[in-house]
A = this chain, B = another copy of it.
Amino acid sequence: MNEIDRRTEKLTSALRDAGVRITRQRAALLSVLAEAEDHPEAIELQRRAEGVVPGISLSTVYRTLTELESQGVILRHQFAGTPARFEHTETTHHDHMIDVDTGEVVEFANDRIERLQAEIAEAMGYEIVHHRLELYVRRKSSTRTAE
């Protein structure tokens, strides 16, 4: 917790230096995002932020998320058929595996895939701005849990 608070504080002043006003609602969202170990969507972030700033509006949440995204502080993921999910940029790059039965999101990273992607783009005269790799998966040989 202390660790998270320290990072959040550093981030906060960095943002202020970048000309981003740190309002109560933004501070709340920053800490909520810093604590999140999952990939929450906007509404869920609002719910969590309400614990700190009751009455925070959904539009503010969206506006703040957009701002933080363009500041490179968070990432926005648009998985198939669901609202966007957000994640802070403290972690190193990784891709996602989405369990189609539960909706659970698992992270993974693989250098070889990254390199192959760059090679492919390169070979066709492009450079990668960003990419999206999502594996929609199902637990193997489960004895029929859902359907």
Contact = CB atoms under 8 A, between A and B. Distances in A.
Interface of A: 78, 80-81, 97, 99-100, 106, 108, 110, 112-113, 116-117, 120-122, 124-140
A84 to B, nearest CB: 10
Contacts of A116: 110, 112-113, 116
A129 B138 contact: yes
A129 B100 contact: yes
A131 B134 contact: yes
B124 A129 contact: no
Given A132-B133, A133-B131, A134-B131, A126 B108 contact: no
A108 to B, nearest CB: 6
A136 B129 contact: yes
B113 A140 contact: no
11 contacts: A78-B78, A108-B120, A113-B113, A113-B117, A126-B137, A126-B138, A126-B139, A126-B140, A128-B136, A128-B137, A130-B136
A137 B124 CA distance: 10
Given A128-B136, A132-B132, 13 more contacts: A80-B132, A97-B121, A97-B126, A100-B129, A110-B116, A113-B116, A116-B116, A121-B137, A127-B140, A129-B137, A130-B136, A131-B136, A132-B136
A128 to B, nearest CB: 5
